[in-house]
Amino acid sequence: MTRKLNEASEQLIKQWEACILFAYDDFDPPSNRRRIKAGDKINGTLTIGYGHTGPDVRPGMTISQAQAEDLFDRDVGKACDIVERAVKVPLNDNQFGAMTAFVHNIGPTQFNSSTLLKKLNAGDYDAVPAELMKWVKSKGKRMQGLVNRRSAEAGLWAKGSYVQSAGSPVDKVRAPLINGKVAATASAVVSSGALAYVPQTGPLAYVLAGVLAVACLVGIGLYVWDRVKN
């Protein structure tokens, strides 16, 4: 059974493809999509819906929103199947979605022969974002739209908890609020005999005891606050 995309991955593809209900040239800038008619010059690839291409897309063609969604589901299903077959290492949902979005954009042939796939299957997860950023040209021209799209795919790849080259992610370990150094210092003060000079009785003893107690509380409070912030 083909693995399904999570919602974040599906929305990423739809965001970058947009939904165009007439046949257009994907080389045209998004702000100036031409409705391609028979005889019009096509500089890129004839496309319709959410980035759907193929021999079934013809000049002058239009589709409904429901048809666009159906084409999207079929195209994404094929891309998911390609990723499942080609990738030999574990992927979490975001990583799987990023690779599916990538395949949906560049096609299976280029993905299967890519250095990205070779490095990924060798277990080099960390190489994926940089490899994605190499795929930013169309017809030999660097396209800002592709730069932005690759950045979004790389962001999805790294989002949340993810599989890394060195194994499972390691949670950040916080130092204890009262560490060994602080405890040792306190112990040294007590054992040094410094407290022997504090009067044991009388008003002065109560005053000094109060001062020491406040100082200790303030010191501990400042230390705890510093640890919480960092």
pLDDT tens across 72-131, in order? 999 999 999 999 999 999 999 999 999 999 999 999 999 999 999 999 999 999 999 999
**Choice among 17, 69, 84, 131 that is catalytic:** 17
Domains and CATH numbers, the chain: 7-157 (1.10.530.40), 180-229 (no CATH)
Per the annotation, the verdict on 84 as an active-site residue is no
| pLDDT of 192 | 45
What letter would DSSP give residue 87? -
pLDDT tens across 72-81, in order? 999 999 999 9
174 vs 21, which has greater pLDDT?
Answer: 21
Q: Report long-range pairs for 79-84 (Cβ below 8 Å, ≥24 apart).
A: 79/103, 79/104, 79/108, 80/2, 80/3, 80/4, 80/5, 81/2, 82/108, 82/111, 82/112, 83/3, 84/2, 84/3
